């Protein structure tokens, strides 16, 4: 894959494509939940302002299409499924770390201590291109309770255990607190993507 020379243009949706620069690695940054798109815009404008076009590649927000019922009408919206996270592809050094860290509404990098942890292409792919098969599955009627232990069965956090923090019966979603790299992080999941831990 690294030998291919990419023409400029959009990548097909189900493929990540090779990085524009061999030095690029993917990092996850923490942002205020609900401001993921603002943070992406801020990073992109800072790239222009600081002349960092050759140091930062793609800036992506993990979203998934979700069909909602609004006033009796079905509509599909892109919903952020990892609130508070933005993926940035970059050739990270100390200066760039400061530029990103000082971006408004960014709280830091995902990692251990002050050391950001780079993700593999496979990890990024599993986060950005979640299977859409779940949309075709029939809705499951399962009762969950707050503080109940569950195991995640699908998606980037498959096989992680977590604690139910919030339940949305209408949307059939749960907010599950999952420990990632030693930090407790809220992850929103559909009922069908978790199972009770007996």
Please state which of the four CATH numbers 2.60.40.10, 3.30.450.20, 3.80.30.20, 2.30.30.30 is assigned to the domain occupying 140-198. 2.30.30.30
Q: Which residue has the tokens 């950001």?
A: 116
The angle, 0 to 180 degrees and rounded to 10, between the axes of the packed helices 94-101 and 36-50 is: 130
80 and 62 in contact (C-beta within 8 Å)? yes
Instruction: Find out if CATH 3.40.30.10 is the number for domain 19-131.
Output: no
pLDDT of amino acid 15: 58
- Distance between CA atoms of residues 49 and 54, nearest Å: 13
What are the sequence ranges of the domains in the chain?
19-131, 140-198
Domains 19-131 and 140-198 share a fold: no
pLDDT tens-digit map of 78-95? 778 788 999 999 999 988
Mean pLDDT, rounded, for 135-140:
46
CA distances from 109 to 20, 46, 71, 90, 115 (A): 22, 17, 39, 13, 8
pTM comes to 0.58
- Distance between CA atoms of residues 101 and 85, nearest Å: 13
* DSSP secondary structure, 4-29, as one string: PPPPSSPPPTT-----SSTT-EEEEE
Q: Which of 35-44, 78-87, 120-129, 171-180 has the lowest mean pLDDT?
A: 120-129
Q: Which of 75-89, 108-122, 157-171, 176-190 has the lowest mean pLDDT?
A: 108-122
pLDDT tens-digit map of 34-74? 999 999 999 999 999 999 999 999 999 988 777 766 677 77
pLDDT of amino acid 5: 40
pLDDT of amino acid 131: 44
pLDDT of amino acid 133: 41
Long-range interactions of 44-48: CB distance < 8 A, separation 24+: 46/99, 46/103
Q: Which residue has the tokens 């956090």?
A: 157
């Amino acid at each position: 894959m690294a030998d291919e020379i990419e023409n400029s243009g959009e990548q097909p949706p189900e493929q990540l494509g090779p990085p524009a620069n061999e030095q690029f690695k993917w990092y996850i940054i923490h942002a205020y939940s609900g401001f993921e798109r603002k943070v992406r815009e801020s990073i992109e404008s800072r790239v222009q302002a600081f002349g960092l076009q050759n140091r930062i590649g793609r800036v992506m927000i993990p979203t998934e299409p979700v069909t909602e019922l609004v006033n009796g009408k079905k509509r599909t919206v892109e919903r952020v499924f990892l609130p508070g996270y933005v993926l940035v592809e970059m050739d990270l050094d100390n200066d760039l770390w400061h530029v990103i860290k000082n971006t408004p509404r960014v709280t830091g990098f995902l990692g251990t201590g002050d050391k950001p942890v780079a993700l593999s292409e496979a990890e990024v792919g599993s986060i950005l291109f979640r299977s859409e098969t779940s949309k075709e599955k029939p809705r499951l009627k399962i009762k969950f309770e707050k503080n109940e232990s569950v195991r995640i069965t699908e998606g980037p956090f498959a096989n992680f255990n977590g604690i139910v923090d919030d339940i949305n019966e209408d949307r059939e979603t749960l907010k599950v607190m999952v420990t990632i790299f030693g930090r407790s992080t809220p992850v929103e999941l559909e009922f069908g993507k978790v199972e009770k831990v007996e």
